[in-house]
């Protein structure tokens, strides 16, 4: 079937994009590693320092409201959310993780801007550190790549 269809996908260059990162301070020892991975990836992809804003919020529960406001501003081509919710002995995890995921998804739908869910939801601290630069890579870096690709894809679909 070669030649009968087009494939449209986003590229890997961040040049010319404005991107915001919303990073939670709670579980900072994990989130800082996610943030470092995201910033390094965006820098390597060509984003300029003045086109990258990092917004700090208290915890994962505060991420969706902030992401929604940033996306609605239309000042950014993408918003990346970074946090870590680690299961404890109470149902608190379920409420925070679920509301965070739901809110981030809703921010993207409401704004039409890619809002990337880079919030770890893990059972243990070990699982979180494995995903923040350990054995399972860096989900902050993965989120940055997703933001770049989606921002470029949206630009292509709009033209």
Active site residue 28: no
Half-sphere exposure of 144 (CA within 13 A, CB side): 27
For residues 155, 109, 51, 151, the Cα torsion angle rounded to the nearest 10 degrees is -30
Q: Which residues contact residue 23 at a Cβ distance below 8 angstroms, ignoring those fewer than 6 apart? A: 31, 34, 35, 54, 55, 56, 57, 82, 83
State the first-to-last Cα distance of the chain, in angstroms, to the nearest integer: 26
Q: Which of 5, 28, 92, 136 is the catalytic position?
A: 92
- Which residues are the active-site residues? 92
């Amino acid at each position: 079937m070669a030649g009968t269809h087009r494939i449209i996908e986003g590229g890997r260059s961040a040049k010319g994009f404005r991107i915001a990162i919303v990073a939670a301070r709670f579980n900072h020892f994990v989130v800082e590693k996610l943030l470092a991975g995201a910033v390094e990836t965006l820098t390597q992809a060509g984003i300029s320092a003045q086109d990258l804003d990092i917004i700090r919020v208290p915890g994962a529960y505060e991420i969706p409201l902030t992401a929604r406001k940033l996306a609605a501003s239309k000042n950014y081509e993408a918003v990346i959310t970074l946090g870590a919710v680690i299961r404890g002995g109470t149902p608190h995890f379920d409420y925070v993780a679920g509301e965070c995921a739901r809110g981030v998804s809703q921010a993207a739908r409401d704004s039409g801007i890619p809002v990337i869910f880079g919030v770890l939801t893990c059972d243990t601290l070990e699982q979180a550190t494995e995903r923040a630069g350990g054995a399972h890579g860096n989900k902050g870096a993965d989120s940055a790549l997703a933001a770049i690709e989606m921002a470029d894809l949206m630009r292509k679909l709009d033209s």
